[in-house]
């Protein structure tokens, strides 16, 4: 085989190796977020927070931005009932379904973004049961060949009581004032990047990606 022909084939293989890597990255990022959900289900807070990069951020609703893995760990514990885990106490239900991923990997293959739809079942036996609905727009980063959550942004849409469901929810009056009660004594490192009113108001969490066919921005 002439050397130039060999060179040509080698270049095609290089391109293929890059393409294949992107397919593997896509699956690895989906695995990462799904693993996050399965850990939360069972009260494995440390396993969940270990999925974040050291300098990652976490922002939920209008609670503000919490920075750094250890702060995120404390935050997850506070938001989930306060027990240190691993495990849930008698009577707590904490099912966090991670659904419908749209993953976009940067050209250089080192960062990515993902939109997810969460369906949740919260409960305290004998007391309360709720359905949860929300959207994630997260950022991911590859460090030393391992994908980590670099920024988690969760937009809760509702937490609705089982009895009567979402039809019973009243609008939020103060757009910045519906902070999670569990975080009253745990202020964020930075104010919220944006405020919004959840259901029954209509809020469109910004899309990180352009329309798959037209290439245009959607929902802005």
Partner 1 sequence: MSDALEQALEAHIAALELGIARQASHEAVERLQRSYAYYADKGLWSAAADLFAEDATWEWGQSGVYVGSARIRAALALRGPEGLGRGDLNNHYTCQPIITVAPDNRTAKARWRSDMQFCREGKASWGEGTYENSYVNEDGVWKIASLHFYVTVLWDYDKGWVYGNISMDPPSETLPPDRPPTEVYASLPEVYLPAYHYPNPVTGEQPRKPTLPELPVDDALAAEVEALETRLERIEDQRACEKLQRAYGYYVDKAMWDDVADLFVEDSTLEIGGRGVFLGKKRVLEYMGIGLGPTGPQREQIINHQQFQGIVTVSEDGKTARGRWRAFVIGGSSWAAVNWGDCLYENHYRKIDGVWVMDKLHAPFTMYTLYTDGWHKVTTPNTRPESFPPPPDLAPTVVYLTYPNYYCEPFHYPNPVTAKEAPPPNPAAGGVANMADFASTDD
Q: Segment 35-74, which members bind partner 1 (CB under 8 A)?
A: 35, 37-39, 41-47, 50-51
Determine if 85 is a binding residue for partner 1 (CB under 8 A): yes
1, 3, 145, 185: which one binds partner 1 (CB under 8 A): 1
Q: Which C-beta is closer to partner 1: that of 100 or that of 193?
A: 100
Query: What is the rounded CA–CA span in Å between residue 113 and residue 137?
Result: 7
Query: What is the rounded CA–CA span in Å between residue 72 and residue 101?
Result: 22
Interface with partner 1: number of residues (CB under 8 A): 89
Token digits for 215? 């290439």
Q: Which C-beta is closer to partner 1: that of 64 or that of 80?
A: 80
Determine if 220 is a binding residue for partner 1 (CB under 8 A): no
Task: Write out the binding residues for partner 1, residues 185-204 only, by CB under 8 A.
Answer: 199-202, 204
- Phi, psi at 136, each rounded to 5°: -100, 145
Query: What is the rounded CA–CA span in Å between residue 64 and residue 198?
Result: 15
Determine if 148 is a binding residue for partner 1 (CB under 8 A): yes
Between β-strands 111-124 and 92-105, what pairing exists: parallel, antiparallel or unpaired?
antiparallel
Determine if 3 is a binding residue for partner 1 (CB under 8 A): no
Determine if 110 is a binding residue for partner 1 (CB under 8 A): no
Query: What is the rounded CA–CA span in Å between residue 7 and residue 213?
Result: 36
N-term to C-term CA, the chain: 55
3, 4, 90, 108: which one binds partner 1 (CB under 8 A): 90
Determine if 95 is a binding residue for partner 1 (CB under 8 A): yes
Candidates 59-67, 172-180, 182-190, 208-216; binding stretch for partner 1 (CB under 8 A): 208-216
Query: What is the rounded CA–CA span in Å between residue 124 and residue 167?
Result: 21
């Amino acid at each position: 085989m002439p050397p130039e022909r060999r060179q040509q084939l080698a270049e095609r293989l290089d391109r293929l190796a890059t393409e294949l890597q992107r397919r593997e990255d896509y699956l690895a990022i989906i695995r990462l977020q799904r693993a996050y959900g399965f850990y939360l289900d069972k009260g494995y807070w440390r396993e969940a927070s270990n999925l974040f990069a050291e300098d990652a951020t976490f922002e939920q609703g209008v609670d503000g931005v919490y920075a750094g893995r250890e702060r995120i760990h404390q935050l997850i514990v506070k938001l989930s009932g306060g027990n240190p885990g691993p495990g849930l106490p008698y009577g707590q239900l904490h099912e966090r379904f991670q659904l419908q991923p749209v993953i976009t990997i940067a050209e250089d293959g080192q960062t990515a973004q993902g939109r997810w739809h969460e369906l949740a079942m919260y409960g305290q036996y004998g007391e309360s049961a709720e359905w949860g609905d929300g959207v994630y727009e997260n950022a991911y980063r590859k460090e030393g060949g391992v994908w980590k959550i670099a920024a988690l942004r969760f937009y809760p849409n509702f937490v609705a009581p089982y009895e009567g469901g979402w039809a019973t929810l009243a609008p939020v009056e103060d757009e910045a004032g519906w902070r999670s009660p569990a975080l009253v004594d745990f202020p964020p490192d930075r104010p919220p990047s944006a405020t919004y009113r959840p259901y029954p108001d209509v809020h469109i969490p910004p899309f990180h990606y352009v329309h798959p066919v037209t290439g245009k921005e959607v929902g802005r």
